[in-house]
Every structure is written in C-alpha cells, then in structure tokens.
Structure 1
Amino acid sequence: MQKTRHQIRQDVRQLRRQLSHQQQHDYSHQLKQQLSQHPKLSNAKQVALYLANDGELCPQPLIEWCWQQGIKTYLPVLDPINEGHLLFLHYHANSPMKTNKFGIAEPCLQSNQKASIDQLDVIFTPLVAFDHFGNRLGMGGGFYDRTLANVSHTDKSPYTIGLAHDLQCLPKLPIEAWDVPLPEVITPSKIWSWGSVFKPEDTL
C-alpha cells in the first residue's frame, strides 16, 4: 500500500534529523562545491535561498560563497498581508533577524529590502521529499507551491531548484493538483533534472 503524504513527511523528516552533525557539515559543503560550478549561478545577480531547519540540507556555505561572488541573497519571509504566501528579503551578514511563528529565523520586514519574484534569477527551495519526476513534497503549508505558482517559466522568470539530502529521494510521490514540480533538484551527490539523474562530472 502506498504511503500517504503525511506518512512520507513523518518518515523522511525523521531520517534527515538522524543525520549527524558531521554528515550535515560534509553534505552542505558538497552542495556548495556542486553549485559553485552550476551554469545557472554563473550569471546570477540575485538568488533566493533558505536557512536550514528540521534537518534540512544546509545551504549556508553556498550563501557565503554567493556573498564572495557578489551575488545578492534573499530569504523567504512569511507575507504578513497575503497569508500563505512568501516574500523574499535581502539577507547579508548583518541583517536584523527575527523568529517567525514556525521558529525559523527570517530577516526583519523592510520594504526597501524586498525583491519581487521576477527580480530573482534562481530560487532554491527546501523540501521534505522529491521523486524521479521532479515532484516536490513540502512541509504541508503550501507556501512554496503558492509562491512558485506565480512563476511563468519564461526566460525572464527565476529558475527553481530544490535542495535535498540524497535520502529524501523517492521513486514516486503521491501528488495533488496544486503541487508545483521542480525543473531540477540537487543533492550532495547528484543533480536531478527533469527526471534524469547524472553526476556533476558528467556536465563538465
């Protein structure tokens, strides 16, 4: 019997929370190493990332690499007006931060620090699980699904990439009509693109 979305969330979240501190450290640096050569970052000026929570793959080394390259980074912030949606605020080493209702740190809301969706070159999203077809299972709040539903996938739209541990990959997820699939998911060891998987060295 196929697991429900709720069961999958519980199981995968437990697995990633069991990763050791050293494993998390190593995987986050492997992620940075892969993405430092990614073609979508070579000309990027503004990208959205996230701060790791609940055992998520940590992009902090990637964030710091972006700063070194002069790429502006943005973090998701719960939209106080449009409930259930995300805003993206500029994030730097001295950003004033607060904790949102989910216990996740986010930049303090300042309108002059906000980037609209079409100003971002790449949006890196966290996820709970993904499958071989690019389907993404989030935490259940639908924040990224609602936000990414506004991405038109034209040449001028941001490119969306999911970030996950290898253990978060499943052959096939149960999906819903509102789910927004990802064109690409990157794990510490692989790059998954439109359902096909290849190692980073295959792209060089």
Structure 2
Amino acid sequence: MTQQLQALSTQQLQDRRALRKMLRQRRRALSPKQQKNASNRLTQRLRQLPDIQRARHLALYLPNDGEIDPTALLPWLTSRNARVYLPVLRPLADNSLWFVNYHPQTPMVANRFGISEPSTRHAAHPSRRRPAWALDVILLPLVGFDENGERLGMGGGFYDRTLARLKDNGSRPRLIGIAHDCQGVERLPTAPWDIPLDAIVSDSRLVIPEHHR
C-alpha cells in the first residue's frame, strides 16, 4: 500500500479527500423521508438483479454517516432462505474484515467507528463466519461513484485490503456497490488499490463498469 500511495500525486490525494468530504455532506443532507424512499427504491432495483436472485450467501452492511440503507432487503432475502453476513473489523489484524452470519438475535456492539457489528466474541467462532471468496454477493457501501463504474470508499481501505486477497483465489463473489444517486460524479480520481466492481446500483440507476461492457 505504501508504494501504491507514493504512486499518487499530492494533487490526486487532495482531490480524493475533497471529493470524499463533499459527497459525504451530500448524503448527510438527505432528510429521513428521502433516506427511507431511497432505501425502498434501492431494494426494488436490487431484487431485480439476477446476481441477487441467485445469491444464497450475501453480505451487506448496516448504514452509517448517511449511507443508503440496504436492510429493507432483509425480509426478502430471508423468504428466499438466503444467509446474510455483516462485515466485522478483524481484531489484531491489518485493517481487514470478517464476514459474520447475521440474524435478529445476533449480539451487536459498536466498533471503534461507532458502527454496529456482531460482537467480537460472537464473530470469533469460525462456524459463524464465511470467507469472502465463498460469498455469492457482497454489497459494498460507497462514498462516490462515476459513470465508468469506479468507486470511492471511506478511505480506510478495509474492503480493498480484504478483497485484494481474492486475486490469488479462483473463486470470487460478485461485488456490487450501492449508493444514493446524489453520490455520483462524472469522473473519479482512481488509485492503484481500488478494487474493481461488477456493478453499482443507486436508488435510480444501474451502472455497469467499463471492464464489463
């Protein structure tokens, strides 16, 4: 990561930080009603995707900081006997993630960022986890996206570090970024460590990345 970081110019890093700040402000500015309506529209779009319809092991996230809420999808997934997983910050690891099976009785705690996740004690049991490569679909949160299907994350690199390891494995989940439509821009400054996505879904459109067209 250090060598990759050095490959970016100071201006590129500043551009990414400025965009991240602006787009986070955009989604925070949405009212509770706008957030709920966007979540419902997103759910309708996701349910129409063949990748989602086929998924038996799917990871999503609990919203934070104005992120679009994917949890309205949960009853539909449950009705299809799909298993749902949440990202958990791995203890004593290099800022990467576990994916832990989630149900309404799962004991939850706030992590160091104030985001709710399954407790470390619960997540530590291997039977409750599924490796990223063995998931069918991962729904990733975004700070921003562009018309070419590029993604801008929060900047911590948790998903990028976790998913970079899939390059050495023959199996790979479908990676679908989800966001409010107001988080879209014409062009994002990219970085070498950005993990390519298979699709981006907002509350009003589907974006297919260039490498899948």
TM normalised by structure 1 equals: 0.90
Say if 2:71 is the partner of 1:56. Answer: no
2:103 corresponds to which of 92, 96, 112: 92
Structure 2 residue corresponding to 1:184, chosen from 188, 192, 199: 199
* Residue segments in structure 2 that go unaligned for 5+ positions in a row: 1-10
Residue 171 of structure 2 is aligned to residue 160 of structure 1: no
Partner of residue 6, structure 2: none
Maintained 8 Å contact 1:89/1:114: yes
Does the Cα contact within 8 Å between 1:77 and 1:88 map onto a contact in 2?
Answer: yes
- Say if 2:131 is the partner of 1:116: yes
Question: Structure 1: which 5+ runs fail to align?
Answer: 197-204
Cα offset for 1:29?
Answer: 0.8
Of the structure 1 ranges 141-150 and 121-130, higher mean CA displacement relative to structure 2 is found in 141-150
Contact 2:39 2:203 in 1 (8 A): yes
Structure 2 residue identity aligned to 1:110: A
Greater helix content: 2
Cα distance in 2 for partners of 1:18, 1:50 equals 20
One-letter amino acid of the counterpart of residue 16, structure 1: R
Give the superposition deviation at 1:136.
1.1
Q: Shift of residue 176 of structure 1?
A: 1.4
Write the distance in 2 (CA, Å) between the matches of 1:119 and 1:86: 14
Q: What stretches of structure 1 move > 4 A for 4+ residues in a row? A: none
User: What RMSD in Å do the two structures reach over aligned CA positions?
Assistant: 1.9
Aligned to 2:4: none
Shift of 1:10: 0.8
Amino acid in structure 2 at the alignment position of 1:140: G
CA distance in 2, matches of 1:132, 1:28: 21
Residues 17 and 145 (structure 1), Cα distance of their counterparts in 2 relative to 1, 3 Å cut: same
Kept in 2, the 8 Å contact 1:32–1:65? The answer is no
Select the residue among 55, 70, 76 that pairs with 1:44: 55
Structure 2 contact 150–209 (Cα < 8 Å) conserved: no
Query: Number of residue pairs matched?
Result: 196
